[in-house]
Structure 1
Amino acid sequence: MTTVEHSPPVLKTAQRARFGEAQSALREKFPARTRVVSWPATQASRDEVVCRLAQHPFTAQNVATTRSRCRGVRFVLAWLEAQPGVTWQERWASTGAESLPKEGWLDLPRQWFIRTEGVVLRDSQLSPGLLMLICGDVIRPTSAWLLSRTSQHLARAMASARDPEGFERLGTQAASDKVPSAVLRIARHRVSVILARNGGSISDITVGDCVEILEAQDATHAATGDRTAFYRLLHRTGIFPPDAPSTIRAFTGGQGQLSVAEMIDRYQIACKAVRDLLVDYLCERQPALDYTSLAAVSRVLGSLFWKDLETHHPGIDSLRLPPEVASAWKTRHRTKTTTVRRADGSTASVTSPRESARSDLTTVRALYLDLAQWAAEDPARWGSWAAPSPVTSAEANQKKHQRRVKAKMDQRTRDRLPVLPLLVSTSQRNRLQAAAVLTAARQAEPGTIFTVDGQTLIRPVLKSASGAKIWAQELDAPRTAVRAARRDLTHEDHKAFWAWAAIEVLRHTGIRIEELCELSHHSLIQYRLPTTGELVPLLQIAPSKTDQERLILVTPELADVLSRIIMRVRDSNNIVASVAVYDPHERVWNPPMPLLFQHRIGTENRAMHPACIRTYIAQALASTGLTDASGERLTMQPHDFRRIFITDAVMNGMPPHIAQLVAGHRVIDTTMGYLAVYPREVIEAHRAFIARRRASRPSEEYRTPTDEEWDSFLGHFEKRKLSIGTCGRAFSTPCIHEHACLRCAMLRPDPAERPRLIEIRDNLIDRIAEAKRESWLGEVEGLETSLAGANDKLVQMDAATARTASAVDLGMPTFNQIAGRATDSRRSTPFSTS
């Protein structure tokens, strides 16, 4: 008979507060197995246990080992039999062995045998017996006790005695995933601990069992090595339900979304009536706000507004504030006090202006105005809370603040726009140099000296294996600082590559950092022109801030960057791994996607965090040695690339309403706010724009383009096709060189038309010779200009051919199951790599 110890199916209130709503729901959906206190193996008699454990599969290949195990089983059972309890599990629990320090449990049976039998037993006579009792499911120690007393024999004994086929499948999956042997050893031990604690075989393990063992690892500080590899291996073997999270970090990483009540209760508001009012108010506004905005509003109303009033005016219970109370609160709110650490290690409180003061006042004013309007619509619910707003319209007016921010951002963009080429070239040089040094170090044997790019390094001989990392050190490094002088060449190459990749993608697309981190292999799609059937590569940007997806044209330079990224993240099977990523803004786990910006941590592929990308960009910028006007080191945020991209695009002829669509702004005013142009450029560009609009454009200029206008915009690219290449002039602009294409810098020559261009060049040479012979000096000057243009185009063709020879297939995936991935005049058909 099996006795079950029932556990509550729903987490307690304290647990829900600790984990959050999302994680609590996930833990309730995937609970650990119900703990049992009695089962057949632990109810068996002493003779039955001894007889069963003396037979296969508990015997070892070595006869001496088998005898040692059987003898140890008899010793441990004799000791346990003298303890109070009905089952062996109850007797084991009553000994108190699990509360003793490591290996301290051995003193209990040893002292018992000395008192009763007068026999002194060695550790080797007791430990094998307990190991067999655990593998035979006679006793089930706690996970903490098993983890704090890691046995190198537990996994091997459990694999042979409990579930040989299950451990074999685990090893096969590890070989398929190329898991290092050290990581597999830890994973096998963690799986063995789960079996020892809960019984059964590997196929019986649940997601909740893995979460339980992970928390036991943290509690016992046994989280050495890759602490989550066992879950990934179990998940990959297919024993978990299909909807099980692909990473166990979904149960531990990221708190998940809080409810509105939990947001307000964080600030411990004393007045219950006001607390309930704020909860109801936020619930009313919740459908129109994303989670980040809702959390920001709750912080302003709950902490900065009402909690501050309760702190300085205890007992306050009404939104109708006296003038002196409202004035004192606004005065306090204009500044904030922060604690800073001095160079000597001491701390000090510093008072500074609060940057969000006016925005916070607007939020409080919105509360009062909303309540007043709702009171007129539903007096029974909101009427008692209608009160005059303590914040006037003038105090909430942010126009002056916005102009100041706009001027500051414009100056920041102007300072960084000229240095962008230097940053691009530096990041490219750093990437190539780091890759060259790493390649040379890999080819060098440990202990040998190698030279690359003017650097003379030695690859050290390490006492222990360093995994996939490649180390090097300077030859003249002092002996006392050898370890400090070692360079992790693998990490240097990693940082240099991803800094270059992030800078290139950001400057060519102008996307947000959140959108950059969400780019996936599925983002690469193609558009087929309705008339010519030509395929145009596009980059699909997933909805982020405005909940609107958009498409960006992939230039040849951007295609080269994306191809290198895909090469970097592909595994040995040419597959981009799908990784689950936690959205820190919405506090949710997104489904696994083949993200482009991912890296390997241990044996797990993880999405790059925005903070990591910011750090890599900052390090690349620091290597340029650039400083700002004050002499401080120049800084650059990912959003600076977005402002630079929009400014450069509009200054070079892109219509603002097209720039709005490319940038993904909801209104064109936001796009115009990103522009950082000088007054002279504004005047000249505006006059030219007005002239063009009067001549060829409709009066309703700033609006969303119609489908016909969008088709006209796409049709413009068809008219660029020339006999020897493609014209790169801006949309809706005439040819400024009157179709003298050989002389025009906007012509992008096609390497396939090289024979035609050579024929034109030879013809020009013959015509120049004829003109010189006939003394047509004016003709000679014009023909020589055309000849110089033809030679320049030949050089461009040769460069393009060399670049194409080293190009890499992007391996764009096929999405037959996804609608709307590609657009065609007949039907929407995803492209394939065939």
Structure 2
Amino acid sequence: MTATNLEEQVLSQPSSATVLPASRARPAPRPRSADWPATQARRDTTWARLTRPPFAPGPSSRHRPGAHHRGLGQLLDWLEDQPGQTWQDRWLATGVDTAGKSWREIPRSWLREHGVAADWHHEAFFRALWLTIAADVIRPAVSMLVVADIRRGALTTVMTRYRDTDGLTRLRTLCSADPGLAPAKATRISYRAAQILAAKGGVLADITPGDVLELLDAEADAHGTGIGATHTFYRMLHTLDVFSDQAPATLRELRNTGQRSPEELIDRYGLVCRPIRDLLVNYLRERQPALDYSSLATLANILGNLFWADLERHHPGIDSLHLPAEIADAWKQRLRTVTRTRRTREGGTAETTVTTTVARVNYRECLTPVRAFYLDLAHWAVEDPARWGPWVAPCPVGREEVNRTKDKRHRKSRMDARTRARLPVLPILVRTVNQWRHDAAALLEEARRTPPGHTFTAAGHTLVRVAPPRSAATKIWAEDPATGQRRDLGREEDYAFWAFATVEVLRATGVRVEELTELSHHSLVQYRLPTTGELVPLLQIAPSKTDTERLLVVSPELADVLSAVIQRVRGTAGAIPLLAGYDVRECVWLSPMPLLFQRRIGSEDRAITPAVIREILDAALARTGLTDPATGEPLRFTPHDFRRVFITDAVLNGLPPHIAQVVAGHRDINVTMGYKAVYPDEAIQAHLAFLARRRSLRPSEEYRVPTEEEWAEFLGHFEKRKVSIGTCGRAFSTPCIHEHACVRCSMLWPDPVQRDRLVEIRDNLVARIIEAKREGWLGEVEGLQISLAGANDKLAQINKSANPGRVVNLGIPTFIPDGTETGDLS
């Protein structure tokens, strides 16, 4: 196969970067009707319908016909006692829809007022109410059904028997056929479907995605969180072809409405000044064609949140881009810091929240868009003065404030230090996740063979198998008899395996986390070498940051890891399930692909997201016990740390930088070298190599081993350097130019301790000069004066080292009319 054929083969593979259309419109639920035939019927018509089959109790029913008639009569009497033209109008007038969990007290109070106090009469009344709802005479609100505390079996039974027997039976059968779906979740799914039919009317086939979202939102409002099986509920309805062909396959796709418009991006920050809000929206719309969505969202956050929303919080009523100097300076000062909140636990105490203020690392990156905003307005005002001219104002951010040269050096230094701290401990992390994987698998396998209530031992742990609750019947639970802690062994094994796979793939490829989550079965391709015919496995990396595909050679170790991943995610049919990945940066769903990084959550398969990857890495690092040497806190690895470690390790081990650039997928080799950390050992080795090269250019006899005589002469030179008034500094094997007249020699380093001796020598020289002049020894005078000058120079050196000279004021230069420069040098 030639290189051209390889390229054609790679390009012919389905790419995970094929983007599905994302709609911003949230599907609306069916409107709640106020008028339909069954609710318009008169009392006699409704009575006749509900007292005949199938609503009347049959011979095999445990409810007596008399009780059914009595309860139905009381229900219709209660509704007729309310104002309204239809049964639905009267139902709304009772106030039951808005009464919350105490809704039963409203009809009970009416019954007691009308002489019906027995509880069994009340039960007959409520059984008649469920029949009336199943007969579509009244339709309670979704919010009321969520908080009404109705027995699931009662509502589901009557809706199955009287409203949609075929649809609800098929739904229950589908849930029962799923081995990963616990019975409690299957019951909850049927109950949710019954609630939607009760509130909206119709049958199961009439349910829309908007109805599902309305019910789930009502549950979240009532309970503060999801109550389980929400994704499975949507998936089951989708599997039954309840929804149209255009409906998303999963609830996550339905809830995520795609990219936001410029208006929505800005309106998240609640800006008060409407003209500035409109200006920012128009500016984003003007920049939108040249930016990807991630950059557009970042720009909206800086301009709308960090810039203008911050100004409005601290200066209410501000409405102009012309900022006074004090306001601009205060804003930039606030921008320099950011508040961080972290949770900590010390000494076994309860978890506490610690809030700290730290310097903003990307301070200058936040200033740059603001400066660009002001300069763009000034530039665009030249072309369209009517639209942009009124907003032109002096820029509060100067050119030097956005100079990032020093910040880039600091960032490079921080990243190098981070890489140097993590590269040596990477083998520890690899061993830890591998051991964790084997231990977790052994525990899970042994627990599966152990009946509930019995003790088992595996991987050095002794645990007791615990019978799971009905809502988690498919899980494997165990309890530590020493601590009483319960452990979900299936979840632990899942985390352990994906921690192992994540660490191995990241350290072997250096891919970005987005590229990791988009790896699919189609990413594995083969290339046959034209010379030897050998098959080389390659890993195709889909375009992410640089929009450029690339191919990586799969090592045998990486091939083993990918094989284990493929074997794990294969379905019962032997094929990898097709899942739609989500691009968290561009906020779009990708086309369904056989993704490698997917896992089973409950009864459905889900793609592993970058957030889950980071969570798994944190769990793996916690097991190593490693700490950050700079802070002493637990060491953290981000997915991008593996990329820096990979590039650094590859270049240090001889991979040419331009090849590392291609492997990493960088457009500029300087970016690749920026990822590579510089080690002190590397600088030492380079210096030693330089010395070796320089030594090779000098005569070889200079580097021979010295003889004993030469070595003794060398040591003797240093022994003879010490003299009475200091130390001689002449080089080895050089003669004394002053014939040992050390006071005269400029190579003498005077010893401050010998200052008194030098003063004595100076005074003696002065006395001898006086004597020589008196006796007429003029030749002696000249030599003595040279020695005296040397002695005074040595004393001056000692005085200077003991008492540094005073500071001299050089003055400020002034200019005289003829252009010459003068100054006060006093």
TM-score, normalised by the number of residues in structure 1:
0.71
The alpha carbon displacement at 1:444 in A equals 1.4
Contact 1:665 1:671 (8 Å CA) reproduced: yes
Contact 2:477 2:486 (8 Å CA) reproduced: yes
How far, CA to CA, are the matches of 2:606 and 2:413 in structure 1?
Answer: 39
Which of residues 209, 232, 242 is equivalent to 2:245? 242
The aligned counterpart of 1:182 is 184
The 1:347–1:138 alpha-carbon spacing in structure 2 relative to 1, beyond 3 Å, is closer
The aligned counterpart of 2:266 is 264
The 1:73–1:335 alpha-carbon spacing in structure 2 relative to 1, beyond 3 Å, is closer
Amino acid at match of 2:60: N
The aligned counterpart of 2:233 is 230
The aligned counterpart of 1:290 is 292
Equivalences for 1:53-452 in 2 at 5 Å?
Answer: 53-58=50-55, 59-60=57-58, 62-65=60-63, 67=65, 68-100=67-99, 102=101, 104-105=103-104, 108=107, 111-112=110-111, 115=114, 122-147=121-146, 148-151=148-151, 152-178=153-179, 179-221=181-223, 223-252=226-255, 254=256, 256-269=258-271, 271-309=273-311, 318-321=320-323, 326-336=328-338, 350-452=356-458
Contact 1:79 1:109 (8 Å CA) reproduced: no
1:661 aligns with 2:662: yes
Contact 2:183 2:473 (8 Å CA) reproduced: no
1:36 aligns with 2:38: no
Secondary structure of 1:122's aligned partner: helix
The alpha carbon displacement at 1:652 in A equals 3.2
The aligned counterpart of 2:723 is none
Which deviations, in whole Å up to 9, do the C-alpha atoms of 1:448-492 show, x marking residues without a partner? Answer: 2222233333324567674222223344x2xxx53xx23322222
Amino acid at match of 1:664: G
Amino acid at match of 2:156: A
Which deviations, in whole Å up to 9, do the C-alpha atoms of 1:633-653 show, x marking residues without a partner? Answer: 332221111011112223334
The 1:528–1:86 alpha-carbon spacing in structure 2 relative to 1, beyond 3 Å, is farther
The 1:542–1:682 alpha-carbon spacing in structure 2 relative to 1, beyond 3 Å, is farther
Structure 2 regions of 5+ residues with no counterpart?
Answer: 1-20, 690-826
How far, CA to CA, are the matches of 1:88 and 1:76 in structure 2?
Answer: 11
Amino acid at match of 2:249: S
The aligned counterpart of 2:783 is none
Contact 1:621 1:634 (8 Å CA) reproduced: yes
Which deviations, in whole Å up to 9, do the C-alpha atoms of 1:26-51 show, x marking residues without a partner? Answer: 32xx3322332222222333343344
Secondary structure of 2:634's aligned partner: coil
Contact 1:358 1:398 (8 Å CA) reproduced: yes
The alpha carbon displacement at 1:678 in A equals 3.1
- Give aligned-pair identity as a percent: 51
The aligned counterpart of 1:578 is 578
Contact 1:106 1:126 (8 Å CA) reproduced: no
Which deviations, in whole Å up to 9, do the C-alpha atoms of 1:304-340 show, x marking residues without a partner? Answer: 3344455566666554555555445444433445677
Contact 1:113 1:121 (8 Å CA) reproduced: no
The aligned counterpart of 1:621 is 621
Contact 1:660 1:671 (8 Å CA) reproduced: yes
The 1:574–1:429 alpha-carbon spacing in structure 2 relative to 1, beyond 3 Å, is same
Amino acid at match of 1:124: E
Secondary structure of 1:243's aligned partner: coil
Contact 1:113 1:120 (8 Å CA) reproduced: no
The alpha carbon displacement at 1:506 in A equals 0.6
How far, CA to CA, are the matches of 1:369 and 1:470 in structure 2?
Answer: 62
How far, CA to CA, are the matches of 1:465 and 1:380 in structure 2?
Answer: 65
- Decide which structure has the larger Cα Rg and report it: 2
How far, CA to CA, are the matches of 2:41 and 2:633 in structure 1?
Answer: 77
Contact 1:103 1:149 (8 Å CA) reproduced: no
How far, CA to CA, are the matches of 1:319 and 1:103 in structure 2?
Answer: 55
Secondary structure of 2:624's aligned partner: coil
The aligned counterpart of 1:457 is 463
The 1:450–1:120 alpha-carbon spacing in structure 2 relative to 1, beyond 3 Å, is closer
The aligned counterpart of 1:499 is 499
1:644 aligns with 2:641: no
The 1:78–1:362 alpha-carbon spacing in structure 2 relative to 1, beyond 3 Å, is closer
The alpha carbon displacement at 1:620 in A equals 2.1
Contact 1:54 1:70 (8 Å CA) reproduced: yes
Contact 2:23 2:257 (8 Å CA) reproduced: no
Contact 2:514 2:610 (8 Å CA) reproduced: yes
Secondary structure of 2:546's aligned partner: coil
Secondary structure of 2:243's aligned partner: coil
How far, CA to CA, are the matches of 1:61 and 1:660 in structure 2?
Answer: 82
The aligned counterpart of 1:545 is 545
Secondary structure of 1:235's aligned partner: helix
The alpha carbon displacement at 1:574 in A equals 2.9
How far, CA to CA, are the matches of 1:321 and 1:465 in structure 2?
Answer: 60
How far, CA to CA, are the matches of 1:515 and 1:89 in structure 2?
Answer: 55
Which deviations, in whole Å up to 9, do the C-alpha atoms of 1:331-360 show, x marking residues without a partner? Answer: 443344567789899988754322222222
The 1:159–1:652 alpha-carbon spacing in structure 2 relative to 1, beyond 3 Å, is same
Amino acid at match of 2:600: R
Structure 1 regions of 5+ residues with no counterpart?
Answer: 1-21, 689-834
How far, CA to CA, are the matches of 1:101 and 1:390 in structure 2?
Answer: 55
The alpha carbon displacement at 1:223 in A equals 4.8
How far, CA to CA, are the matches of 1:80 and 1:274 in structure 2?
Answer: 55
Contact 1:431 1:497 (8 Å CA) reproduced: yes
Which deviations, in whole Å up to 9, do the C-alpha atoms of 1:244-287 show, x marking residues without a partner? Answer: 122233454x5753322333344455555444433333222222
The alpha carbon displacement at 1:303 in A equals 3.5
Secondary structure of 1:38's aligned partner: coil
How far, CA to CA, are the matches of 1:203 and 1:66 in structure 2?
Answer: 33
How far, CA to CA, are the matches of 1:249 and 1:598 in structure 2?
Answer: 15
How far, CA to CA, are the matches of 1:498 and 1:506 in structure 2?
Answer: 12
The 1:95–1:670 alpha-carbon spacing in structure 2 relative to 1, beyond 3 Å, is same
Number of equivalences: 658
User: Of the two structures, which has the highest relative contact order with CA contacts closer than 8 Å and spacing of 6 or more?
Assistant: 2
The 1:60–1:442 alpha-carbon spacing in structure 2 relative to 1, beyond 3 Å, is farther
In terms of mean alpha carbon deviation, does 440-449 or 186-195 score higher?
440-449
How far, CA to CA, are the matches of 1:315 and 1:132 in structure 2?
Answer: 59
The 1:239–1:270 alpha-carbon spacing in structure 2 relative to 1, beyond 3 Å, is closer
The alpha carbon displacement at 1:188 in A equals 0.8
